């Protein structure tokens, strides 16, 4: 399973599935991270394998979404890194995509189609769309100040 993250500027990258946790209320930072940022996300779950999707058929490949949190560690020099243990939190409960705003769903579908030209989707893959704003997290903290939905 892959986790594809679409940033707010439209760029994207993949996270390894080992960063995924389903039930998290606290986080850990490595020693070289001074602090962390978290962003809420909406995660689409891929239900059908595919590559190079056509826009008119893209809705056949996903039908549910869940809220999530994407965590980024800040190193001493200010560099953000997404590759931390337990850095991707996704709710267990998925909702039908019909609950999303139609404009948001259309934007997300466009990204799903665009990214499918570069990678193959497999059943169970997640596509996480970052939401603004970032929330600063301090060492030894919890996710109490972030509304996951």
**Full set of structural domains in the chain with CATH:** 2-22+40-69+86-132 (3.90.850.10)
Cβ atoms 32, 75 nearer than 8 A: yes
Considering Cα of 131, then 82, then 88, then 136, what sign does the dihedral take?
A: negative
Reference 112, options 100, 121, 123; nearest CA is: 121
Q: Over its length of 149 residues, how does the chain's per-residue pLDDT go in tens digits?
A: 889 999 999 999 999 888 887 766 566 677 777 778 889 999 999 999 999 999 999 999 999 999 998 988 887 777 777 777 778 889 989 999 999 999 999 999 999 999 999 999 999 999 999 998 888 876 665 555 555 54
Q: Quote the distance between the C-alpha of residue 5 and its chain's center.
A: 5
At residue 51, the 3 state secondary structure works out as coil
Instruction: Kindly report the number of other CB atoms within 10 A of residue 143's CB atom.
Output: 17
Cβ atoms 21, 88 nearer than 8 A: yes
At residue 115, the 3 state secondary structure works out as helix
Token pair of 32 as six digits: 């070289």
Cβ atoms 46, 121 nearer than 8 A: yes
């Amino acid at each position: 399973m892959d986790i594809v993250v679409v940033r707010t500027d439209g760029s994207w990258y993949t996270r390894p599935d080992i960063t995924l946790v389903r039930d998290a209320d606290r986080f850990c930072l490595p020693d070289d991270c001074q602090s962390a940022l978290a962003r809420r996300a909406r995660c689409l779950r891929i239900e059908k394998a595919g590559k190079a999707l056509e826009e008119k058929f893209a809705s056949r490949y996903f039908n549910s979404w869940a809220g999530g949190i994407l965590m980024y560690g800040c190193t001493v020099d200010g560099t953000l890194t997404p590759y931390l243990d337990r850095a991707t939190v996704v709710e267990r409960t998925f909702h039908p995509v019909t609950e999303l705003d139609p404009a948001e769903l259309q934007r997300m579908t466009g990204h799903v189609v665009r990214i499918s030209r570069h990678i193959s989707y497999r059943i169970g893959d997640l596509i996480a769309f970052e939401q603004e704003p970032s929330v600063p997290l301090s060492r030894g903290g919890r996710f109490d100040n972030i509304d996951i939905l």
